[in-house]
Structure 1
Amino acid sequence: MGEVVSLGKARKAKAREDRETQAQANRAKFGRTKAEKMRDKSDGDRAARLLDGARRDEP
C-alpha cells in the first residue's frame, strides 16, 4: 500500500518550489548592478552611432 500524503502539504510544497524558481528567474533578469546597466547602455549607444555613421544618403 502506498504512503499517505497530505494534499495540503504537497500543494504548499509545490507552490514554494514554484516561487523559488520564479525568484531565480527574476534575479537573473533584473539583478544587475548600476555599472552593468550603464555599460550595456553605452554599448548600445555606440552601436547605434556606428550604424548611423555608416548609413548612406538617399538620392
Structure 2
Amino acid sequence: MYYQIYATCIASVEISRRLGAEWREMSAEQKLPHIQRSRQLRIEHFDMYPNYR
C-alpha cells in the first residue's frame, strides 16, 4: 500500500492521511498483528538501548 501511494509522488501529508483513513477502517482483528509487532519492536529497542531517554 505505502509503495503504491509513494510511487505516485504524493506529498507525505497525503500519504499519512490515506494510511490513517485505512487504519481507522480496519477491524480490531486486522490491527492486532501490527499492534503485537509494534510491542515486540518496542521491547527489542529497550533491550538494545537500555539508557535511551
Length-normalised TM-score, structure 1: 0.42
Which structure has the larger Rg over C-alpha atoms? 1
